[in-house]
């Protein structure tokens, strides 16, 4: 064992010494000539909420955390699990106990070894009411034993179903079998955290200088609302194979300003403002890119008691859904390669086969004819038009879509729609309290599996603002949790949804970026967009 | 005079208290809260968070706790959104930035505005007058949210002289565009105010007397005309100064300076109560202070005013 350790440290040491010379070298696998400056600079829409793995709640913050910390598993360019701190795991016969084997060479940026105890501490911390983590619900979602009781304050965090058997063996006990549990360990809430640093600095432990992290990078500088700088963690186990030296995030609120600064060469990556993709693609064919994203965009009917009577008529709901020409919305309004949606779950979702729901197979002309028929059956006509309110949160993009939708409805069905927009928090409040008739909605998957979308349509879901309730859907989704193959359940749910139309799916998102042509290995095929700066590299001009 | 200053400062305390209570109540009356989000938190999770920040207590208790924290330990509370930082952290990092570009913009607006105004008034109906009036009207009608992106396109994209944004510890190259964008419309207002008030003063009897005495023009302007002509300008400068040093959302958004203007607006949108309160109090206190400064300046410039 001793010999092996000496051997290992020699190898790692040699690799460390050779690491800086990467800059003037070739890529070890592809042989491309690497750029001298390996700094990756990208735009953040807004300042990240935190870099504390158990506290962070926004997407951009999670991206920073994913570069600073490393969990049990990482994702490869296609979203498949690859070893992070864990090398492998075993599942018990009842599928409720997972035992993870952790790598011996994982180290924190201060040189301490990463142990199973660091994960136990982090997971208990996430569930502890004292931490008051906004992502405590994720621990519940993972079905860790006793999670809910701990969050409720009925049990202590030490009773959470996670245990360090030894420094490099982590045992997790679940309250129900959860086939996709390992997939959930790539989420930032599950990353380990350094107890000694948190004890020493309290809430200030995430500040540069105090922070200790176990990922490929450490936080070296943070100027709030301006920028954060991440530099290489020399103690990271895979530092020798990491090429990007520095990651810089620039907070730029306005996307047009960000685009200008991208064009001035200050950024390697930024988002493309809606509607500008076609012209940018023509001007910069190797830099403007669009690829699928794990998010949907829909409108939800208020089916609760406070909702209008006319929406309780399925014919009205179907007529409205059928008569929307989604191609006009994706090709004329959005123009960023988005996909017209006829199912709630995006096609890009891993393991999800898009079911051939009936109305998707019709031509728009047929759908329109059917819509007019349904509307007439429901008793509405141009002389007796359906009138309702539509609400969305204030944004140019949402407004354009809402205008297109209302115009289509007016022309085809004679429906008169009043559009209302509300500031974000007011909108959430009104929608959450069922003070609406038809409201905009969008959802991005928490993990890459269809249930992250379809669970929204179950009666018990806290996110089901339209209050749709169908016992069969509830049962199918409950069964899907433990089924070896859940696809038939998902297919059936999508068919029921297409038949009852509690929501109108409109489109599935794409990421539309301007990205430096020299920046390589961006995981465009990872639908969750869990990207790791350590896997990127820049080639020389 | 000293007694007057003390009285004014003493009145400012109840004024601030009223400001605090009013903003606190109004803010809590807005729909939604800091933890309302697209994915509503399960009630047990929300309860833990609200307990941590004391939001589970009745509003009146929250106000007392808040004011208590400020009075006893100058603690303005934690940010609900940026959980790694307190309100004091946010103001401490953002306010110096805002103060720097705001103060520089103020100097530019004041000096250039006054110079243009005086020059235009003295050479009334000459090319100089038309030029100055033209510039000030142009600057007035070009709002800074139009000006800012135009500056970036010209100086960053076309000429490549200046960085398109960021603060970079207050490097001069990062300051130039924010200062131009922020100062122009104020400069225009100051120029027009100065011009009209200077014209008025130049037509008064005491100036005519001075001219009749044969005093040289520059002495008349410097010694006799400038002070009274600046009186209306000074009453404009007080609130303007506060507005400029407490930041501009436009400047912060377009130049990513990291100032508190953007933080202020964001805090309102995200219902980050503590941050919003902190900046409101800062702006309130500065407004009270600089209104006092203006009144003192008045007494110093205008011998007719005595406190």
Question: Could B40 and A206 be called an inter-chain contact, meaning their C-beta atoms sit closer than 8 Å?
Answer: no
Mean model confidence pLDDT for chain A = 92
In chain A, domain spans:
32-247+516-538, 292-511
Is residue A4 pLDDT above 70, yes or no? no
Strands (E), A72-214: 73-75, 81-83, 86-91, 97-102, 162-166, 169-173
Residue pairs between chains A and B whose CB atoms are closer than 8 Å: 144
Is residue A21 pLDDT above 80, yes or no? no
Mean model confidence pLDDT for chain B = 89
Confidence of residue A316 (pLDDT cuts 50, 70, 90): very high
For residue A340, what are the β-bridge partners? A507
Residue A350 has which token pair?
């891993």
Among A494-498, B13-17, B178-182, B232-236, the least confident range: B232-236
Question: Could B156 and A132 be called an inter-chain contact, meaning their C-beta atoms sit closer than 8 Å?
Answer: no
Instruction: Note the pLDDT of residue A388.
Output: 97
Residue in chain A nearest B156 by alpha carbon: A264
Residue in chain B nearest A432 by alpha carbon: B40
Spell out the SS3 assignment of A1-63: CHHHHHHHHHHHHHHHHHHHHHHHCECCCCCCEECCCCEEEEEECCCCCCCCCCCCCCHHHHH
Is residue A487 pLDDT above 90, yes or no? yes
Q: Give contacts of B 233-252 with A, CB under 8 A.
A: 252
Contact list, A226 vs chain B (CB under 8 Å): 166-167, 256-258
Contact list, A130 vs chain B (CB under 8 Å): 52
Q: For residue range B250-295, what is the model confidence (pLDDT) as tens digits?
A: 898 889 898 998 889 889 989 999 999 999 999 999 989 988 888 8
How close B246 comes to chain A (CA, Å)? 16
Count CB atoms within 10 A of the CB of residue B138.
Answer: 11
Q: For residue range B132-174, what is the model confidence (pLDDT) as tens digits?
A: 889 888 888 888 888 898 999 999 999 999 998 989 888 999 9
Question: Could A129 and B40 be called an inter-chain contact, meaning their C-beta atoms sit closer than 8 Å?
Answer: no
Question: Could A49 and B153 be called an inter-chain contact, meaning their C-beta atoms sit closer than 8 Å?
Answer: no
Fold classification of A32-247+516-538 is: Dipeptide-binding Protein; domain 1 (3.90.76)
| Residue of A42, A56, A68, A134 for testing the chain B interface, max B β-carbons within 10 Å | A134
Q: Flag whether residue B265 sits within 8 Å of chain A, measured between CB atoms.
A: no
Q: Flag whether residue B263 sits within 8 Å of chain A, measured between CB atoms.
A: yes
Among A197-201, B117-121, B302-306, the least confident range: B302-306
Quick one: average pLDDT of A489-498?
Answer: 96
Confidence of residue A258 (pLDDT cuts 50, 70, 90): very high
Is residue A212 pLDDT above 70, yes or no? yes
Is residue B14 pLDDT above 80, yes or no? yes
Confidence of residue A397 (pLDDT cuts 50, 70, 90): confident
Quick one: average pLDDT of B99-119?
Answer: 94
List of residues 6+ apart from A322 with CB closer than 8 A: A359, A362, A367, A368, A370, A371, A374
Q: Flag whether residue A421 sits within 8 Å of chain B, measured between CB atoms.
A: no
Contact list, A42 vs chain B (CB under 8 Å): none
How far apart are the C-alpha atoms of B99 and B258, rounded to whole Å?
12
Q: Flag whether residue A70 sits within 8 Å of chain B, measured between CB atoms.
A: no
Quick one: average pLDDT of A370-381?
Answer: 95
CA distances from residue B247 to B100, B183, B238, B262 in whole angstroms, order as listed:
10, 12, 15, 8
Question: Could A257 and B259 be called an inter-chain contact, meaning their C-beta atoms sit closer than 8 Å?
Answer: no
How close A467 comes to chain B (CA, Å)? 14
ipTM: 0.85
| Residue of A224, A295, A465 for testing the chain B interface, max B β-carbons within 10 Å | A224
How far apart are the C-alpha atoms of B29 and B92, rounded to whole Å?
28
Contact list, A151 vs chain B (CB under 8 Å): 42, 44-45, 48
Instruction: Note the pLDDT of residue A186.
Output: 93
Q: Flag whether residue B88 sits within 8 Å of chain A, measured between CB atoms.
A: no
| Residue of B27, B93, B256 for testing the chain A interface, max A β-carbons within 10 Å | B256
Q: For residue range B58-98, what is the model confidence (pLDDT) as tens digits?
A: 999 999 999 998 889 888 989 988 888 899 999 999 999 99
Confidence of residue A8 (pLDDT cuts 50, 70, 90): very low
Asked if A56 and A65 touch (Cβ cutoff 8 Å), the reply is yes
- Give the residue from A445, A447, A481, A449 showing the smallest Cα distance to A463: A445
pTM: 0.87
Q: Flag whether residue B75 sits within 8 Å of chain A, measured between CB atoms.
A: no
Question: Could B93 and A224 be called an inter-chain contact, meaning their C-beta atoms sit closer than 8 Å?
Answer: yes
Contact list, B53 vs chain A (CB under 8 Å): 132
Is residue A16 pLDDT above 60, yes or no? no
Residue A250 has which token pair?
């620039």
Question: H/E element holding A417?
Answer: strand A416-422
Fold classification of A292-511 is: Dipeptide-binding Protein; domain 3 (3.10.105)
Is residue A491 pLDDT above 50, yes or no? yes
The total number of residues shown for chain A amounts to 541
Contact list, B92 vs chain A (CB under 8 Å): none
Confidence of residue A24 (pLDDT cuts 50, 70, 90): low
What is the 8-class DSSP label of residue A486?
Answer: -
Is residue A409 pLDDT above 70, yes or no? yes
Is residue B114 pLDDT above 80, yes or no? yes
Among A181-185, A319-323, A403-407, the least confident range: A181-185
Q: For residue range A261-310, what is the model confidence (pLDDT) as tens digits?
A: 999 999 999 999 888 999 999 999 999 999 999 999 999 999 999 999 99
Q: For residue range A225-256, what is the model confidence (pLDDT) as tens digits?
A: 899 999 999 999 999 999 999 999 999 988 88
- Exposure pattern of A138-175 as b/e (b: 16+ CB <10 Å)? bbbbbbbbbbbbbbeeebebeebbbbbeeebebbbbbb
Among A127-141, A364-378, B134-148, the least confident range: B134-148
């Amino acid at each position: 064992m001793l010999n092996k350790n000496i051997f290992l440290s020699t190898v790692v040491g040699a690799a460390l010494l050779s690491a800086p010379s990467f800059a003037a070298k070739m890529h070890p696998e592809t042989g491309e000539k690497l750029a001298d400056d390996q700094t990756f600079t990208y735009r953040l829409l807004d300042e990240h909420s935190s870099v504390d793995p158990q506290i962070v709640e926004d997407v951009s913050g999670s991206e920073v955390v994913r570069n600073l910390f490393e969990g049990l598993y990482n994702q490869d360019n296609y979203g498949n699990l690859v070893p992070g701190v864990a090398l492998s795991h075993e599942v018990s016969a009842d599928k409720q106990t997972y035992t993870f084997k952790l790598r011996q060479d994982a180290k924190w940026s201060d040189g301490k070894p990463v142990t199973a105890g660091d994960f136990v501490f982090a997971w208990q911390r996430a569930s502890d009411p004292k931490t008051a983590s906004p992502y405590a619900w994720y621990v519940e979602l993972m079905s860790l034993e006793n999670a809910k009781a701990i969050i409720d304050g009925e049990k202590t965090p030490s009773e959470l179903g996670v245990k360090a058997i030894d420094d490099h063996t982590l045992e997790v006990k679940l309250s129900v079998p959860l086939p996709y549990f390992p997939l959930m360990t790539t989420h930032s809430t599950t990353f380990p955290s350094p107890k000694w640093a948190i004890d020493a600095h309290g809430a200030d432990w995430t500040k540069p200088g105090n922070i200790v992290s176990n990922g490929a990078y450490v936080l070296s500088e943070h100027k709030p609302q301006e920028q954060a700088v991440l530099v290489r963690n020399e103690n990271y186990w895979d530092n020798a194979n990491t090429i990007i030296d520095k990651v810089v995030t620039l907070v730029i609120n306005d996307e047009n300003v960000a685009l200008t600064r991208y064009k001035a060469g200050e950024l390697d990556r930024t988002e493309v403002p809606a509607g500008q993709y076609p012209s940018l693609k023509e001007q910069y064919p190797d830099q403007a890119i669009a690829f699928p994203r794990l998010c949907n965009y829909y409108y939800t009917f208020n089916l609760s008691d406070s909702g209008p009577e006319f929406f309780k008529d399925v014919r009205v709901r179907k007529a409205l859904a059928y008569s929307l020409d989604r191609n006009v919305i994706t090709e004329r309004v959005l123009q960023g390669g988005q996909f017209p949606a006829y199912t709630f779950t995006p096609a890009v979702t891993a393991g999800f086969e898009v079911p051939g729901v009936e109305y998707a197979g019709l031509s728009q002309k047929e759908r329109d004819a059917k819509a007019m028929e349904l509307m007439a059956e429901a008793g509405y006509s141009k002389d007796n038009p359906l009138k309702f309110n539509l609400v969305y949160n204030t944004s140019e993009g949402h407004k354009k879509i809402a205008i297109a939708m209302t115009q289509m409805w007016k022309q085809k069905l004679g429906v008169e729609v009043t559009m209302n927009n509300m500031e974000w928090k007011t909108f959430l409040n009104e929608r959450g309290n069922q003070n609406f008739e038809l409201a905009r909605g969008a959802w991005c998957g928490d993990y890459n599996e269809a249930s992250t979308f379809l669970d929204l349509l179950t009666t018990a879901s806290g996110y089901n603002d339209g209050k749709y309730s169908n016992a069969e859907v509830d049962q199918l989704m409950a069964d899907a949790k433990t089924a070896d193959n859940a696809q038939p359940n998902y297919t059936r749910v999508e068919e029921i949804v297409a038949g009852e139309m509690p929501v109108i799916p409109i489109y599935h998102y794409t990421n539309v970026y301007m990205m430096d042509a020299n920046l390589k290995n961006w995981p465009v095929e990872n639908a969750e967009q869990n990207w790791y700066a350590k896997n990127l590299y820049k080639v020389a001009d | 005079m000293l007694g007057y200053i003390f009285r004014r400062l003493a009145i400012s305390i109840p004024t601030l208290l009223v400001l605090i209570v009013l903003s606190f109540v109004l803010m809590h009356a807005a729909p939604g809260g800091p933890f309302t989000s697209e994915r509503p938190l399960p009630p047990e999770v929300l309860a833990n968070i609200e307990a941590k920040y004391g939001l589970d207590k009745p509003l009146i208790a929250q106000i007392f706790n808040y004011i208590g924290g400020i009075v006893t330990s100058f603690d303005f509370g934690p940010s609900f959104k940026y959980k790694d930082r307190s309100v004091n952290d946010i103001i401490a990092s953002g306010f110096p930035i805002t103060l720097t570009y705001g103060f520089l913009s103020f100097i530019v607006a004041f000096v250039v505005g006054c110079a243009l105004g005086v020059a235009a008034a003295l050479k009334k109906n000459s090319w100089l007058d038309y030029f100055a009036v033209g510039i000030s009207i142009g600057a007035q009608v070009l709002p800074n949210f139009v000006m800012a992106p135009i500056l970036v396109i010209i100086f960053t994209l076309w000429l490549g002289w200046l960085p398109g944004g960021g603060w970079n510890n207050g490097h001069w190259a990062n300051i130039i565009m924010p200062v131009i964008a922020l100062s122009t419309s104020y400069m225009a207002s100051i120029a027009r105010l100065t011009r009209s008030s200077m014209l008025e003063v130049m037509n008064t009897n005491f100036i005519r007397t001075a001219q009749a005495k044969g005093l040289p023009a520059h002495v008349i302007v410097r010694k006799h005309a400038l002070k009274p002509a600046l009186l209306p300008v000074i009453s404009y400068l007080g609130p303007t100064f506060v507005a400029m040093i407490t930041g501009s959302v436009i400047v912060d958004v377009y130049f990513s300076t990291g100032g508190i203007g953007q933080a202020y607006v964001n805090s309102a949108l995200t219902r980050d109560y503590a941050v919003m309160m902190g900046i409101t109090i800062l702006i309130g206190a500065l407004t009270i202070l600089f209104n006092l400064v203006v009144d003192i300046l008045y007494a110093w410039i205008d011998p007719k005013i005595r406190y």
